Structure 1
Amino acid sequence: MAEKRGLGRGLSALLGDVDETATLTAGTPEAAAAGVREIPIELIHRNERQPRWVFSPEELEELTASIREKGVLQPILVRPSPRTGGEFEIVAGERRWRASQKAGLKAMPALVRELDDLQVLEVAVIENVQRANLSPIEEAAAYRELMDRFGRTQEEVADIVGKSRSHVANTLRLMNLPEPVREHVLEGRLSAGHARAILTAENPEQLAEQIIARGLSVRDAERLGREAGQVARGKPPARRAATKDTDTQALENDLSEMLGLDVEVLDRGGAGELRIKYATLEQLDELCRRLTTRSAAALS
């Protein structure tokens, strides 16, 4: 397995002293010092293993208009093509390359780096994940490739992209969805929250169609998934909980204020459940951090 590199802090680990967010115009002393060069567009080709599959036409048109007016303000990152001598493969910046073609540019600024296949995939994943450009399915597929093709563990993938291990694990679960449901998520018809709500159901494709047709929220999708599971096990759908007494409601409010999340207490004669609801993985991470911190403080 390749040596582990912590790249989650950004692309600077591979770009040396270059600030990957800086504006570098080819031909300036700053660009020359950073190694930026103008490369004919016909000598640049996309990376076939690029983790991003879908490019928004609206965003591409906006970037094309900007490039026509101001040029390419940030160089793309390329490596010498491993297949064709004298040509280059995109590591990061395919959207800028596509927009430059639409804008009619003959050449564009680029940083050339000698990178192996693992580094290429890691940089591409980092760029897209940190800039929120990947759909949840694209992100999951990229994590899966890092693990299957290069032997990364979930913890190593989390370190590489600067995410928590729970985020990586929950994202990877989306790869267990049937292809039609993954396509809905990829095209934006379903969110990752919707998809997770029906992930373990026996008929996720049918449930996905219902969610889309009825415009259901994630919470409604979760309820639909639970009810489908109960029907599959031969049980009637659960009844809605009765109105809670004042003391229970006050306890829920106190816990919600303490944790910063919605809390539900389900009491059944002195026994029951405590449910803490989160809307994003970041909220779950923060809850785990708070509980861990409090537990460690209590033991110290």
Structure 2
Amino acid sequence: MEETFIDVADGDIVENIAVRKIRPNPFQPRRIFNEEALEELSQSIKEHGILQPIILRKTGNFYEIVAGERRFRATKKALIPEIPAVVRNYNDREMMELATLENLQREDLTPIEEAESYRKLMDALNMTQEVLAERLGKSRSYIANHVRLLTLPEDIQKMVDRGELSMGHGRALIGIKRKNIIPIVAKKVIDQQMNVRQLESYVHALNKDVSRVTKKKSVKNLYLDEAAAELRDYLGTSVSIKSSKNKGKIEIDFFSDEDLERIINLLKERGE
């Protein structure tokens, strides 16, 4: 049976609540529930019943789960019509904090689910990473490393969620300077079964190439970039300047005949 962060107190009244009137916690940080584990819990509930009531709050004619969603899902799977529960009054902020803290007591959250839990707590309670780390008994770097995973593209976060990439892989991918190639590199990691150390070396080599090209380009085209920016500000439209050896071209965007006429007049004024 799962451990629960919220204890049932001596004064609590345990009621049997119809399963059909119960809704999942809208602030539940967990998205992935292991079906095999749920099936095992469901069989246990059929044989032994529910050993610990779930915690609910009343919302209109229904109830929302504060703690015990795995027990609720397993009871529903067992086709049992009622579940023992304690009904308490919680506001949305308390609901989210309690649901998050309950899940953080367990060790099977995915790194992304854990990261989202930390971010939600910090946002809702207006606390820093340092304060949250102290409250949870973890280091600030531990919190920060998880939260940084949320800067990954959504598709990559799903790969971490599914276990196709580890948290270490995710952290290494964050370090890629050319963000648009992260999905390509992630696919390469999976296809070639790269471990974290191999990926870190690969990312280091990628970034070294990018730095070299960027440095060369910035020295060569500094004047052209400044000139394009000046024209862009003056003309109020996109301007690009391309050069090759001793020649080049200027490209100016316009979007209608009137816009073209406006740009021509501005160039004439500049020439005068």
Per the TM superposition, whether the score is higher than 0.5 is yes
Give the secondary structure class of the aligned counterpart of 1:137.
helix
Q: Is the Cα–Cα contact under 8 Å of residues 27 and 95 in structure 2 kept in the other structure?
A: no
| TM-score w.r.t. length of structure 1 | 0.64
- One-letter code aligned to 2:158: E
Structure 2 Cα separation of the partners of residues 224 and 112 of structure 1:
54
Please name the residue that 1:214 is paired with.
192
After TM superposition, the runs of 4+ consecutive aligned structure 1 residues lying more than 4 A away are: none
Which residue of 36, 43, 54 corresponds with 2:21?
Answer: 43
Which residue of 135, 155, 164 corresponds with 1:180?
Answer: 155
RMSD of aligned alpha carbons: 2.1
Which residue of 38, 46, 69 corresponds with 2:47?
Answer: 69
Give the secondary structure class of the aligned counterpart of 1:142.
helix
Alignment of 1:262-273 (within 5 A): none
Which residue of 92, 95, 98 corresponds with 1:120?
Answer: 95
Please name the residue that 1:224 is paired with.
202
Q: Which consecutive residues of structure 1, in runs of 5 or more, have no partner in the other structure?
A: 1-9, 19-29, 236-300
Indicate yes or no: 2:66 matched with 1:91.
yes
Alignment of 1:1-300 (within 5 A): 11=5, 15=7, 18=9, 33-81=11-59, 84-85=60-61, 87-201=62-176, 202=178, 203-234=181-212
CA apart distance, 1:124: 1.2
- One-letter code aligned to 2:196: V
CA apart distance, 1:178: 0.9
Q: Which consecutive residues of structure 2, in runs of 5 or more, have no partner in the other structure?
A: 214-272
- The structure with more radius of gyration: 2
Q: How many residues are matched?
A: 207
Structure 2 Cα separation of the partners of residues 157 and 121 of structure 1:
15
Identity, % of aligned positions: 41
Which is helix-richer, 1 or 2? 2
| TM-score w.r.t. length of structure 2 | 0.70
Structure 2 Cα separation of the partners of residues 91 and 162 of structure 1:
23
- One-letter code aligned to 1:165: R
CA apart distance, 1:130: 1.4
- For each residue in 1:165-207, what CA deviation from the matched residue of structure 2 results, as whole angstroms up to 9, or x when unmatched? 2211111101111111111011111111110011120222112
CA apart distance, 1:227: 1.9
